[in-house]
Amino acid sequence: MVVQKRHKALPAKDQGEWVRGSTTARSRTPAPPMASATTSAPPSPPEDIDALLSTLRSHAPAVQQTTAEQRKRKLQRLADALLARRDAFCDALHADFRKAPVEVDLTEIKTVTKEIEHTIAHLEDWMQPDRVGSPLLFTGTRSAIHYEPKGVVLILSPWNYPVNLTLGPLVGAIAAGNCAVLKPSEHTPNTAAVLQDLLHDLFEEREIRVLTGGPDVAQSLTRQPFDHIYFTGSPAIGRKVMKAAAEHLASVTLELGGKSPAIVDDTADLDRAAGRIVWSKFTNAGQTCIAPDYVLVEAPVHDALVDRLRDRIHQFYGATPHAQRTSDDYARLVHEDHYRKVLDLFSGALDAGATVAVGGQHDAETNYVAPTVLTDVPLEAPIMQKEIFGPLLPVLPFQTLDEAFRIINARSAPLSLYLFTERESTVDRVLYQTTAGSTCVNEGFVHFVHPRLPFGGKGESGIGRAHGVRSFREFSNERSVLRRTYGSELLDTLYPPYGRLTSRVSDWVLRFF
C-alpha cells in the first residue's frame, strides 16, 4: 500500500527558509507483512522524455549563470524541506522495507543535510577559478581552471538508501549549476512518491524533474543525450549504463559495490571490532554497498571474535529469534526476489559445509532474514564469489596476512576495506598490498558521511568520486583558460616556414624550457 499521508503545503519555490521539522525519534510496533506497492504518480511514457529533455536543455544556460548565492539558497531550501518532511520519509521507508526511524535519520536525512551544510560553506571557493602557474615558455600568460556545469544530468538512484543516494548526488548537481532528471528505484515506491512530491514543490519542472517507473523508463532515459549520468547500483547494470552513455560520449559516475572485506588480527580490540562490524553489516539488514561482506580473522582469535559478534547481535537486535524478528530496529529485505537471492546464497553456503554460528532464521512472508554469522565457509562457495547485499556474514580464519591478502586480491577491488589492529606495521602492509575505494582502520562505515573524503570505487566497484568538492567537480566541466597579458616574441619565432633560426630556437626550447 502506498503512503498517501498529506502534509502541510510548503512555501512557494522563491520564498525564504522553511521551519525545520522535529528531530525526535519515534518507536514503532511491528508491521504486518509488506504488500506490494506502486507509486502514486504514473510512470512517464518514453515519448514524453524527448520533450522533457528539450525543455531542460533550453533552460540550462540560465541555470548555468546562477551565482553562488542563488545556488546556496536552493540547497538551503532543500535541506529545510527535507527536515520538514522527515516524518513523511520515515513513514515511506517503513512502508517500503521497515527501515527504523533512527536509521532514516542517520543514514538518509542527516547524510544529505550534512552534505548540504558543507557545500554551502565552501561553494563560493569551489566556484572560483583555480589559478595555475606558468612555465618559463609561457612567460606573459596567466592560466586558470574554470568550473562550469556539464548541462543536463541524469541521476539513477537505487532502493537501498533511496533518499540519501538520490538527493546526495543532486546536491553536487545543483552546486555545479546543472539541470537534472532523477529516476528513483521502483522497488521503494512510497519513498519515490515523497521524493517526487518534495522536489516538485521546490523546483521548476524545467530545472529538476523526478520520473518514476520501472526499467523501461530507466532505459528510455539512458538512450537520451544527457551530459552526465550518475548511477548507483550493481556492476551488471552499471555496465549497461556505461554502454548507453558511450553512444552519446556522455561522462559517467558509477557507484557500484563488491565484496568489501574486514580484517581482524590478534592485536585488535575485539569488543570494538565486533561492535563496528555488526553495526556496519546489519544496518539496513545488510543492504549497504559498503557493508563488510566477509570477515578475515587471525586464527587464534577466531572463536573469541565470533562470540563477541553473537553478543553484539543480541545486544543490538534481541537475544532470541523472536526478539530479533519483532525488533523495531531491524529492516526487511526490499522485495521477494532479493529475499530469494539471499536465501540461495545461505542455502549454498550450508550445502558447501558452512556452519551457522548465529541466526539463520528467515520468513518468506515478510522477507525477513535474521542477522546471521557463518563459519567454516569454503572459499569456493557462491557466498564467497558474489556480493551478498544482505544480513549474512561469513567469518574465515587466516594464519598469515599473506593468506588474507591472497583471498582479498583474488577478487575484484572492493568498494571499502575495514581493518582492526593495534599494529601499525599491519596497517602499512594492508595499504601497500591491497587496493580498495576506501579503507577504515579500527572504524566502521562512517567514512561515507565524511564530507572531505572522496567516496567511490575502483574498477568493478565504481568509477568517479563523490562528496564535497568532488561531487561539485564530478558535475562540472573543468575548462582550461590561458590568457596572454604581454609578450609573445619567443613563440613568434616558431612560425613556419621553418628555417635555420627556427631550428636553433626549437633546440633551445627543448634543452632549457
Q: Which residue is catalytic, options 186, 255, 387, 474?
A: 255
Determine the pLDDT at residue 138.
85
Element (H, E) at 252: strand 251-255
Q: Which fold has domain 261-456?
A: Aldehyde Dehydrogenase; Chain A, domain 2 (3.40.309)
Determine the pLDDT at residue 492.
79
User: CA 150 to CA 321: how far, in whole Å?
Assistant: 51
Task: List CB contacts of 315: < 8 A, sequence separation 6 or more.
Answer: none
CB of 328 closer than 8 Å to CB of 27: yes
* pTM, entire model: 0.89
User: CA 296 to CA 417: how far, in whole Å?
Assistant: 11
Determine the pLDDT at residue 134.
86
Of the candidates 82, 76, 1, 85, the residue with the CA atom closest to the CA atom of residue 39: 1
47 is a catalytic site residue:
no
CB of 278 closer than 8 Å to CB of 244: no
Determine the pLDDT at residue 44.
54
Q: Specify the DSSP class assigned to residue 122.
A: H
* Torsion 464-261-367-83 (CA) sign: negative
289 is a catalytic site residue:
yes
User: CA 3 to CA 94: how far, in whole Å?
Assistant: 10
The phi and psi torsions of 277 (rounded to 5 degrees) equal: -65, -45
| Chain Cα centroid distance, residue 132 | 31
Q: Which residue is catalytic, options 108, 115, 186, 289?
A: 289
User: CA 295 to CA 46: how far, in whole Å?
Assistant: 45
360 SS3 class: coil
Q: Which fold has domain 58-255+466-476?
A: Aldehyde Dehydrogenase; Chain A, domain 1 (3.40.605)
| Chain Cα centroid distance, residue 325 | 28
Determine the pLDDT at residue 39.
43
- Bridge partners, 156 (sequence order): 183, 231
Spell out the domain ranges in the chain. 58-255+466-476, 261-456, 487-512
Each residue's pLDDT expressed in tens, for the chain with a length of 513 residues: 333 333 333 444 433 322 223 333 344 444 444 444 444 455 555 558 889 999 999 999 999 999 999 999 999 999 999 999 999 999 999 999 999 999 999 999 999 999 999 999 999 999 999 999 988 888 889 999 999 999 999 999 999 999 999 999 999 999 999 999 999 999 999 999 999 999 999 999 999 999 999 999 999 999 999 999 999 999 999 999 999 999 999 999 999 988 999 999 999 999 999 999 999 999 999 999 999 999 999 999 999 999 999 999 999 999 999 999 999 999 999 999 999 999 999 999 999 999 999 999 999 999 999 999 999 999 999 999 999 999 999 999 999 999 999 999 999 999 999 999 999 999 999 999 999 999 999 999 999 989 899 999 999 999 999 999 999 999 999 999 999 988 877 777 778 888 888 888 888 888 877
